[in-house]
């Protein structure tokens, strides 16, 4: 059986790169798989990819060239693979984009479909929910990663096997965080906010900046700033770096636009504490037992924190407004932070159920 995984791979996105690594790592537990590839260019030497690496820059670009290549890849994949998976992420808020175009061109029935480790919703509107429902009812297997998605699946009358577990990245082995030092900061560029626009995003980041300056000024901590979604987050990464450096604080910048996701992961697990605007900055910190706080800018962030039992005293609050005092949270992260109530080993074991519970699994779920 030839298996293809489709998602936001090859787009310089930390979390989606990790999904790709996990899918290729775990799929070989299934019987009858003789070929497995990501429908994307390779973003690491060991990634089995459907698109040649020489097309990587075009594939990830905007405009007509990038869209045309992504559409061509999706059309070709429907002829090449026996089973096509949506592998990880928030991919079912609506049915749109190149995947929908490819289905319209080729026919959705031309290849068996399934989804693994995905979120379903929140939907754009009622019509979008209807499109998602109609699309998913033809799938052979669906596994979801959070409680809102589980509740939605339970509310449906699908006659297909499905499962609920943790985030896919929980199935990924974590490197040891030897010699932990510094505060990790991973801002998210939410809704294209800019530093000077007076938006809730800019206001919160100014509060975080002031709190880090105060905390690091007392302890001499280095600040490690991460742009986990490449060029998209770079505007805030550079904003923090310039202002922290101007106050004489030691900073290092790590961007997905410049280094691999595995390199970013290795640096994240070596932090003493992490303040993340990106979901997978927080997930990696949690899996590595690094104290963390997460900006709950989307439902998936709130769902993850509830799933692992994050202490209320380390939660910033919903969205970018009405947040707890940032300085107090950073102090708690650095001094004696409470641990999430769900042990990382239990969460990792549960994340492996996405693959272990699939109809093609070699044996019972781990």
Q: Residue 197's domain is classified under what CATH number?
A: 3.40.50.2000
Last residue of a domain, one of 103, 135, 164: 164
Provide the domain count of the chain: 2
For 59, other C-beta atoms within 10 Å of its C-beta total: 23
Report, as an integer, the average pLDDT of 116-138.
Answer: 96
In this structure, are 237 and 296 located in the same domain?
Answer: yes
pLDDT value of position 364: 47
Residues 230-262 as b or e (16 or more Cβ within 10 Å = b): bebbbebbebbbebbeeeebebebbbbeeeebb
In this structure, are 55 and 82 located in the same domain?
Answer: yes
Q: Closest by alpha carbon to 294, among 272, 309, 311, 316?
A: 316
Distance CA(135)–CA(19), nearest Å, equals 22
pLDDT value of position 330: 92
- With cut-offs at 50, 70 and 90, classify the pLDDT of residue 362: low
- Enter the pTM of the model: 0.95
DSSP state of 61: -
Residue 216, domain member (yes or no) = yes
More confident residue, 196 or 349: 349
Could you give the count of Cα atoms lying within 13 Å of 280 in the half-sphere of its Cβ?
24
In this structure, are 77 and 217 located in the same domain?
Answer: no
Residue 353, domain member (yes or no) = no
In this structure, are 188 and 160 located in the same domain?
Answer: no
- With cut-offs at 50, 70 and 90, classify the pLDDT of residue 366: very low
Q: Domain span at residue 86?
A: 2-164
Last residue of a domain, one of 136, 164, 192: 164
Whichever domain contains 25, its CATH number is: 3.40.50
- With cut-offs at 50, 70 and 90, classify the pLDDT of residue 363: low
Position 218 pLDDT exceeds 90: no
**Beta-bridge partners for 84:** 4, 113
DSSP for 101-137 reads: HHHHHH-GGGSEEEEEEEEE---SSHHHHHHHHHHHT
**Beta-bridge partners for 164:** 144
Residue 366, domain member (yes or no) = no
Q: Which helix (H) or strand (E) holds 200?
A: helix 200-219
In this structure, are 6 and 153 located in the same domain?
Answer: yes
In this structure, are 160 and 193 located in the same domain?
Answer: no
Distance CA(118)–CA(165), nearest Å, equals 10
Residue 362, domain member (yes or no) = no
User: In Å, what is the CA distance from 265 to each residue of 226, 259, 271, 285, 287?
Assistant: 10, 10, 10, 9, 11
pLDDT value of position 365: 44
Residue 153, domain member (yes or no) = yes
Average pLDDT over the chain, rounded to an integer? 93
In this structure, are 192 and 105 located in the same domain?
Answer: no
Residue 69, domain member (yes or no) = yes
Residue 72, domain member (yes or no) = yes
CA geometry: angle at 117 spanning 56 and 297, to 5°?
80
All residues at 6 or more sequence positions from 217 whose CB lies less than 8 Å from its CB, including other chains: 247, 249
């Amino acid at each position: 059986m030839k298996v293809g995984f489709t998602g936001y791979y090859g787009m310089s996105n930390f979390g989606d790169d990790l999904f790709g690594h996990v899918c290729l790592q775990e799929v070989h537990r299934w019987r009858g798989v003789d070929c497995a590839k990501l429908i994307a260019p390779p973003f690491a030497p060991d990634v089995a990819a459907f698109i040649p690496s020489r097309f990587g820059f075009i594939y990830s670009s905007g405009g007509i060239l990038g869209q045309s290549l992504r559409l061509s890849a999706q059309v070709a994949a429907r002829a090449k693979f026996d089973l096509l998976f949506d592998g990880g992420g928030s991919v079912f808020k609506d049915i749109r984009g190149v995947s929908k175009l490819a289905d319209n061109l080729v026919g959705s029935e031309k290849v068996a479909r399934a989804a693994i480790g995905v979120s379903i919703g929140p939907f754009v509107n009622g019509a979008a929910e209807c499109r998602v429902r109609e699309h998913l009812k033809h799938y052979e297997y669906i596994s979801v990663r959070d409680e809102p998605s589980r509740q939605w699946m339970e509310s449906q009358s699908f006659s297909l096997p499905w499962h609920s577990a943790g985030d896919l990245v929980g199935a990924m082995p974590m490197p040891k965080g030897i010699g932990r030092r510094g505060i990790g900061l991973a801002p998210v560029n939410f809704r294209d906010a800019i530093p000077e626009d007076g938006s809730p995003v800019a206001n919160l980041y100014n509060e975080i900046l002031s709190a880090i300056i105060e905390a690091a000024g007392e302890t001499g901590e280095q600040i490690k700033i991460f742009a986990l979604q490449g060029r998209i987050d770079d505007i805030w990464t550079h904003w923090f770096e310039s202002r922290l450096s101007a106050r004489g604080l030691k900073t290092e910048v790590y961007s997905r636009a410049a280094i691999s996701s595995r390199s970013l992961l290795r640096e994240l697990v070596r932090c003493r504490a992490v303040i993340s605007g990106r979901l997978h900055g927080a997930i990696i910190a949690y899996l590595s037992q690094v104290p963390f706080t997460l900006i709950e800018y989307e439902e998936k962030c709130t769902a993850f924190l509830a799933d692992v039992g994050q202490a209320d005293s380390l939660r910033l609050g919903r969205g970018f407004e009405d947040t707890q005092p940032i300085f107090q949270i950073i102090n708690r992260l650095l001094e004696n932070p409470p641990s999430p109530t769900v042990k990382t080993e239990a969460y990792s074991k549960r994340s492996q159920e996405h693959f272990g519970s699939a109809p093609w699994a070699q044996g019972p779920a781990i």
